[in-house]
Structure 1
């Protein structure tokens, strides 16, 4: 009988030999179970699979025919390059593409290349048809069915349902090179217009960023206009602010922010500016997937997580939501204010926050300092109790005048 220690050592060494190397290209992650349990449906595609994680899912195979139709249209638009050419191109990208996923992909080479090419051309065609409406064919079951385009758009924004961005952009650039009449916009532009619904050029900062995939693209689109400055003080004291109702009672006024950047929240002279936030059925899935990507990839530089942590501290009751709706900050498409409260309380659950680097820490400090000043609280109470109605205001003015006259009379009498 051999030495048991040698057997253990050999077993470990054998495992180390087949252990895959970690890659800096990793950017497409599986959702942590703690987050998935909170809202599993938000992280799962409804109608279409993209990439290897949901490849072959029987619930999603019905979309395969439409994918092939989109591939056919893509090949017709790029008539100077045939299918064999694109297969060879994707084959050259295979190794790097596999490294982008958090876990090894068991698909053999040929099915993997086929999947990537079909899924990538599907997304490219989807974005093209979203901008160039003349590309939409009569038998297009996605764009000619309003519910279907909404569900497909939702699905391609899911973190586990991604292809590396370099493949999408690479194929687009090969198919529609600058000399081609078909190429009317750079790939970043049509992506920006499809997702953000803005018929304008992309911001210069976006054009300079190395985008990892579509979820990363959306995160970049939502970044605030002023990014955080790295601070050497990692033990900075931090406290969340009070709720909307409490801040309102302390004299804080809520108004719609003028910035187009959702995260550009500003507090100045008692006024908290928050850009309009439209709450729809897709809001939870969209931002949960951006947040899970931040949690896995940008934990020390999170912005979307910080935004929802800040709003979660503001919104605790339907009354808080009502105040923000009345001020125009929130537009509620969910039906009632309780659902909005539940959204903000759930969306941050099981999410880790890097509090020492919290983006809104200064805003919280300013709000807490303002709310603690007694004079601001008295002004708010006076305004709420006595100046909301004209007759009440007249009564207060009358009482003040009578008080002044009484004091004058008393002083004069003493003389």
Structure 2
């Protein structure tokens, strides 16, 4: 009986595992390119550094209450997009619907929205980004969004965030097939967290930050880089720049084997080592020269008491002569000259004496 009960428990346990396997999410697709910011980066920076302030793009921050005002603006942009493309909402909806599975596979986590909600969100966000990029290149637009420089700055920042993205191919295909307004080439930058998650061995931004940390150890370094127009400091204090870069660097693990600036590091180290060697050699030469001059001075001018006295007297005369307001009188000249002749005479006698 106990054996039979044990078998039933084991069977139920196996069924639980089977149900878990059946509900298991599919493995991450090779198309995956949109991630959550790693926790180690969030710890090193303020939480809102990776959170949108004005507009949500994509599903990861969609529906947040503080971002609702821009949702209404995005719908206005969708309406304007339909007008410029001469497309029906149904046609645009179906166009995105065809790409739904491919779009979902670009996210590192399962998106909980149903199909219709997901397609509506992607369409609205894509239309907003395209129209926003186009409008941003016109200086005479009389719209609330473009008159508000603070809001414009927040939007530019938000559409660069790793967690606030839709796949780039959506923008390209939607633009190519439907949009007819003249526009500059669409360009979206890859932020730092994306490199860490997706581009192993090609972490150019991370490598650049590592380089800047080496160059900015103190606020004086920052001031020098700003002065040489290498760095544009938009923060209030140079110390803030040093702290910011250090915090950023402390959460980045750089693979030195693939560091983009390896050659530059090597050249700089070699240059510094060479300068140190040259400075050391120059110092050695200076010591040798000084030693030679001291030897000459000792032999020629201080080899005996008479030469020493003569040298001191001549030096004093030179100092007094060059001093402002000092004039050599005739009595002084006679005294010094007598002293000089006496010193020379005594020196010659001493030099002829045995044992000197």
TM-score for the superposition, normalised by structure 2: 0.73
User: Does residue 166 of structure 1 match 2:201?
Assistant: no
Would you say the 8 A contact 2:57–2:164 is kept in 1? yes
Q: Greater strand share, 1 or 2?
A: 1
Would you say the 8 A contact 2:58–2:164 is kept in 1? yes
Aligned partner (choices 65, 72, 85) of residue 58 of structure 1: 65
Would you say the 8 A contact 2:210–2:249 is kept in 1? yes
User: Does residue 10 of structure 1 match 2:15?
Assistant: yes
Distance 2:182 2:52 in 1: 31
Name 2:132's counterpart in structure 1.
126
SS of match in other structure, 1:300: coil
Aligned partner (choices 337, 342, 349) of residue 243 of structure 2: 342
The answer for unaligned runs of 5 or more in structure 2 is 284-288, 301-356
The answer for unaligned runs of 5 or more in structure 1 is 177-181, 193-213, 220-289, 382-398, 411-415
Name 2:98's counterpart in structure 1.
92
**Displacement of 1:323:** 2.5
Distance 2:280 2:233 in 1: 32
Would you say the 8 A contact 1:127–1:190 is kept in 2? no
CA deviation map 1:133-170 (0-9, x unaligned): 56x3x3x2211211111101100001100011111111
CA deviation map 1:18-67 (0-9, x unaligned): 22222111110001112112221110000111111111100101111111
Paired residues in the alignment total 284
Q: For 1:65-214, what aligned pairs fall within 5 Å after superposition?
A: 65-79=72-86, 81-133=87-139, 136=141, 138=142, 140-176=143-179, 182-185=180-183, 189-192=184-187, 214=188
Q: 1:332 to 1:133 in 2, by over 3 A?
A: closer
CA deviation map 1:313-367 (0-9, x unaligned): 2211112212222323223221221111112111112112112222212221221
SS of match in other structure, 1:335: coil
Name 2:214's counterpart in structure 1.
313
Name 2:264's counterpart in structure 1.
363
Distance 1:124 1:305 in 2: 28
Would you say the 8 A contact 2:84–2:181 is kept in 1? no
User: Does residue 298 of structure 1 match 2:199?
Assistant: yes
Distance 2:124 2:70 in 1: 11
Distance 1:2 1:174 in 2: 63
Name 1:266's counterpart in structure 2.
none
Distance 2:119 2:107 in 1: 15
Q: 1:313 to 1:86 in 2, by over 3 A?
A: same
Moved more, 340-349 or 368-377: 368-377
Distance 1:161 1:295 in 2: 16
SS of match in other structure, 1:353: coil
TM-score for the superposition, normalised by structure 1: 0.63
**Displacement of 1:376:** 4.6
Name 1:49's counterpart in structure 2.
56
SS of match in other structure, 1:372: helix
Distance 2:196 2:157 in 1: 20
Distance 2:14 2:199 in 1: 37
Name 1:232's counterpart in structure 2.
none
CA RMSD of aligned residues (A): 2.6
Q: Greater helix share, 1 or 2?
A: 2
Distance 1:108 1:166 in 2: 21
Q: 1:331 to 1:380 in 2, by over 3 A?
A: farther
**Displacement of 1:380:** 11
Q: 1:27 to 1:119 in 2, by over 3 A?
A: same
